Amino acid sequence: MKKKLPRLEHPWLLLLTPTPEILGAFLNLPTALTQSLTYLLVGVAAWANRHLPGIYLVLTGALLNALAVFLHGGMPVDPDALNRAGLERYRDYLAQKGDGFHYLAPAFPLG
């Protein structure tokens, strides 16, 4: 007898996760709001699928990432990383105005 694999419940929740970001871009909503709504949707989708193996690892990772962003007051962006990614045009924007969520901060050297 074959063992049935666990089934993904409410897959439409996962498809909805980019919606706050997309709407935020078109409606000029605060990035902190759209990021929070995205995290909420990911959390709801993960909780709805808590029967799946490894989902608690996903939930833990998402919570730790959200905690780090919250403790830093946003998402730090390394200016050198912008240059390497070919996005140096955003450096002045983040330095002067930002989007209320991302801010310029040099990377912490790990080694």
Q: Establish if 5 belongs to a structural domain.
A: no
Answer yes or no: are the C-beta atoms of 9 and 37 closer than 8 Å: no
Structural domain harbouring 81: 74-105
pLDDT tens digits, residue range 23-42? 988 998 888 788 889 889 98
Are 92 and 44 part of one and the same domain? no
Are 68 and 88 part of one and the same domain? no
Q: Establish if 1 belongs to a structural domain.
A: no
Residues 6+ apart with CB under 8 A from 83: 91
- pLDDT for position 93: 82
Look at 92 and 19; give whichever has higher pLDDT.
19
pLDDT tens digits, residue range 52-93? 989 999 889 988 988 888 887 788 888 888 889 998 888 888
Q: Is the pLDDT of residue 19 over 80?
A: yes
Are 69 and 88 part of one and the same domain? no
Number of domains in the chain: 2
